[in-house]
Amino acid sequence: MNIHATTADSVQRPFGLRRLTGSLGAEISGLDLSKPLAAPVLTALTQALVDHKVIFFRDQPLTPEQHIAFGKQFGALEIHPFTEGSKSFANDTKNQEIIIVESTAETKSAADIWHSDVSWRVDPSLGSILKCSIAPAYGGDTMWADMEAAYAGLDNAMQSRLSDLVAVHDWHRFRANLRKQSVAEEKIAALVESYPPVEHPVVRTHPVSKRKCIYVNAVFTTRIKGMAEKESDDLLKDLYRLSTKPEYQVRFSWKNDSIAFWDNRSTQHYVVADFYPQHRRMERVTVAGDRPF
52 is catalytic: no
9 is catalytic: no
CA distance to 41, 53, 160, 227, per residue, from 206 (Å): 22, 11, 18, 25
Residue 220: burial class (beta carbons within 10 Å; 0-12, 13-18, 19+): buried
Active site residue 169: no
Active-site residue, from 4, 67, 117, 200 = 117
Closest CA to 276 of 156, 166, 136: 136
Catalytic residue among 4, 67, 115, 169: 115
Q: Active site residue: 121, 169, 269, 281, which one?
A: 269
What are 131's strand-pairing partners? 259, 283
Q: Which of 121, 200, 280, 284 is catalytic?
A: 284
**Mind listing the domains of the chain with CATH numbers?**
16-287 (3.60.130.10)
Length of the chain: 293
Residue 103 to residues 72, 92, 133, 143, Cα–Cα distance (Å): 27, 15, 12, 18
180 DSSP assignment = H
Q: What pTM was estimated for this model as a whole?
A: 0.92
| Euclidean distance between CA atoms 283 and 264, whole angstroms | 17
Q: What pLDDT tens digit does each residue of the chain (293 aa) get?
A: 444 434 445 568 899 999 999 999 999 999 999 999 999 999 999 999 999 999 999 999 999 999 999 999 999 999 998 887 676 788 888 999 999 999 999 888 778 999 999 999 999 999 999 999 999 999 999 999 999 999 999 999 999 999 999 999 999 888 888 888 888 899 999 998 999 999 999 999 999 999 999 999 999 999 999 999 999 999 999 999 999 999 999 999 999 999 999 999 999 999 999 999 999 999 999 999 999 99
